[in-house]
Amino acid sequence: MIEPGRRAISGALEPHDHVHEHAHGDATAHAHVHAHDHPPAELHAGTGAPERGPGDGAPGGEADLAARWIEVEHVHFTYPDGFEALRGVDLRLGRGEKAALVGPNGAGKSTLMLHLNGIHLPSHGVVRVGGVAVDRSTAKRIRAEVGLVFQDPDDQLFSPTVFEDVAFGPLHMGVPEAEIHDRVERALAAVGMAGAGRRLPHRLSLGQRKRVALATVLSMDPTVLVFDEPSAGLDPRGRRELIRLLRALGQTLLVSTHDMRLVAEVFPRMIVMDDGVVVGDGPTEAILADDAFLEAHGLERP
């Protein structure tokens, strides 16, 4: 199990980018990225001992930054075929906060998530992580901070063995080789795949590939975790294990899912998207109690 609260990315990071692009589909959407670089200073604001000062809580102060660790402002995104999948998304997530992202098929959840580490860049509007605007020049630093697990594990896994896939991120972050085995084993154990390092990713079942995809990001220990439908395809035991893992994680966490029981069990906050915009955002309990709202957006009580 990954220890809760571990969040520092340490060690000398390689200055160059490691981008693996899948041959199928839209190369941008499927860019599999384990890119690392020194995060900008702003990203590490607040990682040390808290410094109390007059600026705290004020706009631009440390507490203010922590309260909007992820900030999505008026984001529009149009796919190359002209379809506008995001039509003015506004969202803030505090450091260490856990929120579920829900909404019907095609609402724009995956599209939004791909903006959080710069795989998609907004057509209009801005996305900030730790106060740093995500754009072409910062995307690779942002990717060291934001671990994104794709909806489709085949977009995540590309190495000949499970071990190599899970070791890829930490290796290219400059984690000492002596530590790599330990990181990989811990990440695999956290997703119930201990000892699977020598298996071939493309021979695993869908649920197993989903678990290994999570491990490729956990092994990097980023400060922000973004999981796109992590419970889809998991068996009941896998789902319980995932719930335990999500609860134990100390990082800022945004998880998209259609599993309302998972939402109710893990997430105090729920963000609802429909048709490219955020239509609801608040305490999970309150939203799940509003039958008319749930009905209007194709959702159900757990």
Ligand X SMILES: Nc1ncnc2c1ncn2[C@@H]1O[C@H](COP(=O)(O)OP(=O)(O)OP(=O)(O)O)[C@@H](O)[C@H]1O
Q: Which is nearer to ligand X, 36 or 210 (CB)?
A: 210
Q: Looking only at Cα atoms, what is the longest distance across the chain?
A: 57
Q: Which is nearer to Mg ion, 151 or 252 (CB)?
A: 151
- What residues between 50 and 89 interact with ligand X by CB under 6 A? 79, 81, 83, 85
Q: How far is the CB of 111 from Mg ion (least distance, A)?
A: 8
Query: Which of ligand X, Mg ion, none lies near 81, with the C-beta cut-off 5 to 8 A by kind?
Result: ligand X
Pick from 18, 22, 29, 38 the residue near ligand X by CB under 6 A.
29
173: tokens are 């972050």
Q: Using the rule CB under 5 A, give the single segment among 13-21, 23-31, 91-99, 102-110 that binds Mg ion.
A: 102-110
Identity of the amino acid at 26: D
Contact status: 110 vs Mg ion (CB under 5 A): yes
Query: Which of Mg ion, ligand X, none lies near 103, with the C-beta cut-off 5 to 8 A by kind?
Result: ligand X
Q: Distance between CA 69 and CA 166 in Å, rounded?
A: 26
Query: Which of Mg ion, ligand X, none lies near 108, with the C-beta cut-off 5 to 8 A by kind?
Result: ligand X
Identity of the amino acid at 109: K
Report H helices in 173-205: 177-190
Contact status: 231 vs Mg ion (CB under 5 A): no
Q: DSSP class of residue 228?
A: E
Q: Distance between CA 151 and CA 230 in Å, rounded?
A: 7
Asked whether 221 and 7 are in contact (CB, 8 A), the reply is yes
Sign of the four-CA dihedral 248, 249, 253, 259: negative
Residues forming the site for ligand X (CB under 6 A): 26, 29, 79, 81, 83, 85, 103, 105-111, 151
